[in-house]
Amino acid sequence: MPLITYRQALNDAFAEELTRDENVFLMGEEVAQYNGAYKVTEGLWKRFGCKRVIDTPISEAAFLGLGVGAAMMGLRPVVELMFWSFAYVGFDQIINNAGCIRYMSGGLINVPMVIRGPANGGTNVGATHSHTPENFLANTPGLKVVCPATPYDAKGLMIASIRDNDTVCFMENTLLYGDLGEVPDGSYTIPLGVADVKREGLDVSLIAHGRAVLTCLAAAEILATEHGIEAEVVDLRSIRPLDEETILNSVAKTHRAVLVDENKPFCGVSAQIAALLAEHAFDDLDAPVLRVTALDAPAIYSMPLEKLQLPDAQAVVAKVLSSF
């Protein structure tokens, strides 16, 4: 199986969907002639032309609205945000329009749009470029939210998202763009709302999404080799729909849960999962549900301090050990 980067896996997904369906098109700031700020769309403008890969002005509210209108008319836009932090100027288009139109039209009008781009801290680009808004958007019925951790998942989830009839908010991570992984040639999909157990274990469940999954896998190795603790790592992959069954089955097996989240702790994704476990898995638990999250502050601009703001493997190991 070919070994390619997370960035190339996304690029391959776009190329295959642009080839398969003439209604698919890409747009965003610098996605065409410049190949994208992070080169995720490299080569697609030359291959598919300026009617399928479109540069936009620096106006997120305008081109998100354009995407909503195009999707309502039957096209399938894939809209790049240079950073998800810039989505906030377009929240009316995303939440009021993309999220609500199917409900408000009685199911007569769908908005099959993908909104995608980086949503992460840890890159020294400051507080206004480092938001992780998956919790905001997953709070909106009508929107779907996806956070892939690996190249394989990035390609399969992107193709599934483009083919979905609802708007999917696709959260990438600039720190993962260069990561390598095995990805099959050709098209495949990963259903939205299906988590993946990335590592089997019997002693504790580490539940995470996005790059935090890799942090958990590193922590699981340390726990196994240095402490004799076998951790199970559950990769949520989708935040909404959320695969509650896989989460509950894992905790029923291990009887302990540590939730790892690069989002902030207050009303974060891990808070939602903690509520799920309190309501449905209380009798399975041998210890309190614990969390490892980003520090509850805007992204710190100092690079050494920003690294401390995000969860790392040692913090996860320490939290797990505190539960025994």
Active-site positions?
A: 60, 129
What DSSP character marks residue 102? H
- Tokens of residue 102, six digits: 């199917």
What is d(CA 65, CA 79) in angstroms, rounded to the nearest whole number? 10
What is d(CA 233, CA 229) in angstroms, rounded to the nearest whole number? 12
What is d(CA 319, CA 245) in angstroms, rounded to the nearest whole number? 24
- Positive/negative CA dihedral, 127, 129, 134, 136: positive
DSSP 3-state of 315: helix
- Tokens of residue 119, six digits: 């949503």
Angle at 16 between CA 81 and CA 63, to 5 degrees: 25
Cα 227 to Cα 199, 219, 221, 306, distances in angstroms: 17, 11, 10, 29
- Tokens of residue 188, six digits: 């495949």
What is d(CA 303, CA 124) in angstroms, rounded to the nearest whole number? 6
- For 191, other C-beta atoms within 10 Å of its C-beta total 13
Cα 1 to Cα 181, 190, 237, distances in angstroms: 9, 17, 22
**Residue among 285, 289, 274 at smallest CA distance from 319:** 289
User: Across the strands, what pairs with 78?
Assistant: 26, 114
Radius of gyration of the CA atoms of the chain, in A: 19
